[in-house]
């Protein structure tokens, strides 16, 4: 029974960690989309902290109380069952997927607590027009769709790097933008990984190096929380349209859990084989991810889906545009010369 219950809890965790940021991103106004979606990551971290505290031996972590510790997750689950029926459906889902404009307007009024802004409704209607006649895509169909090739590559890279960086919040997301926080977070993590490696190498020679190592651990985690931890989860909402967004979240979530499993399995062998250099692979992942973000990922803060898609199309159809320009130059008409000398 314990194995079955843990299996069901795991399914719920995997589904909710993808559905929640998608729901928040689809329901939030454009100027608050990042901060609202980030709340999912913030409260997930808060839940982890509460679970660690409740699991202390002084509370429910003792031998006599561990059954109550395993059953304690029923409390938030029961609370959600009571409150979620009162939540409105995602306005974008109601209008784009179901074509119910009245239900969309009702949901927007309930979420905003006021009349719907015309600009916000026009944005959703524009996305509906762009997705007209297209059904929801399956995850495997995204791999063959060239129009979203670089969006999929970006989500794949960032979702994988989020776990492969070695890590098992803020309002800056709406002030500094997603791209800067992601690139800055991974760049700082690269630097701290280098300092951490140096500190581990000299901790038996210099007496204060262990303190530096401990400081590097905290700053590494802090750098992760400042950017990658909060921003990665909201990107599929911003860079995929309504027909591809659920499938994109399935791919992103699967990659995060898969890579988390891989890191959990191989980390003891990395420590045994590399010793003080065990963080070098993680630093390399952070550096490559920061370079990818700097060269290929456009800023999405405060932009409509149409504007973001146009920026990605420059990458998705770069080869076709280059081929078209070469053909145009090849068949360019010559100049007409009017001269009596001819």
Look at residues 283, 288, 290, 49 and name the one whose alpha carbon lies nearest to residue 166. 283
Token pair of 145, please? 């769709």
pLDDT in tens, the chain (342 residues): 778 887 888 888 777 777 888 888 788 777 777 777 677 777 777 777 787 788 888 787 777 888 888 888 788 888 888 888 888 888 888 888 888 888 888 888 888 877 777 777 788 787 777 777 677 778 788 888 888 888 888 888 877 777 666 555 445 555 566 788 888 888 888 888 888 888 888 887 788 888 888 888 888 887 787 778 777 777 888 888 878 888 888 888 888 888 888 888 888 888 888 888 888 888 898 899 889 888 888 888 777 778 888 888 887 776 665 555 555 555 555 554 454 444
At residue 297's C-alpha, the angle toward residues 292 and 299, to 5°, is 140
Task: Dump pLDDT digits (tens) for 66-109.
Answer: 888 888 878 888 888 888 888 888 888 888 888 888 888 888 88
Q: How many residues does the chain have?
A: 342
* Helix (H/G/I), strand (E/B), else coil: 153: helix
pLDDT in tens, 106-158: 888 888 877 777 777 788 787 777 777 677 778 788 888 888 888 888 888 87
Q: What is the pTM of this model?
A: 0.69
What does residue 172 show for φ and ψ, rounded to 5 degrees?
A: -60, -20
CA distances, 329 to each of 13, 68, 74, 333, 334 (Å): 55, 74, 67, 9, 11
As a whole number of angstroms, the distance between CA 283 and CA 289 comes to: 10
């Amino acid at each position: 029974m314990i194995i079955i219950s843990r299996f069901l809890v795991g399914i719920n965790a995997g589904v909710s960690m993808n559905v929640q940021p998608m729901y928040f991103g689809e329901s939030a106004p454009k100027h608050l989309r990042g901060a609202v979606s980030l709340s999912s990551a913030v409260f997930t971290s808060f839940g982890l902290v509460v679970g660690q505290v409740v699991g202390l031996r002084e509370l429910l972590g003792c031998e006599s109380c561990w059954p109550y510790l395993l059953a304690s997750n029923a409390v938030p689950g029961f609370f959600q069952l009571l409150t979620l029926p009162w939540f409105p459906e995602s306005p974008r889902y109601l209008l784009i997927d179901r074509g119910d404009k009245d239900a969309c307007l009702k949901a927007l009024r309930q979420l905003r607590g006021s009349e719907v802004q015309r600009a916000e409704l026009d944005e959703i209607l524009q996305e509906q027009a762009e997705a007209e006649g297209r059904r929801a895509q399956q995850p495997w169909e995204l791999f063959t769709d060239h129009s979203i090739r670089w969006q999929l590559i970006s989500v794949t890279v960032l979702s994988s790097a989020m776990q492969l960086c070695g890590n098992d919040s803020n309002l800056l997301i709406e002030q500094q933008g997603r791209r800067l926080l992601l690139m800055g977070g991974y760049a700082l993590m690269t630097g701290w990984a280098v300092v951490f490696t140096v500190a581990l190498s000299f901790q038996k020679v210099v007496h204060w190096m262990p303190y530096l190592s401990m400081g590097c651990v905290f700053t590494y985690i802090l750098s992760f929380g400042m950017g990658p931890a909060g921003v990665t989860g909201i990107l599929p909402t911003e860079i995929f349209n309504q027909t591809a967004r659920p499938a994109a979240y399935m791919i992103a979530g699967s990659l995060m859990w898969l890579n988390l499993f891989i890191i959990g399995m191989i980390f003891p062998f990395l420590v045994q084989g590399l010793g003080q250099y065990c963080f070098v692979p993680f630093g390399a992942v952070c550096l490559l991810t920061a370079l990818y973000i700097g060269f290929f990922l456009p800023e999405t803060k405060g932009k409509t889906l149409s504007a973001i898609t146009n920026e990605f199309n420059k990458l998705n159809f770069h080869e076709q545009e280059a081929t078209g320009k070469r053909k145009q130059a090849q068949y360019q008409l010559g100049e007409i010369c009017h001269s009596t000398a001819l």
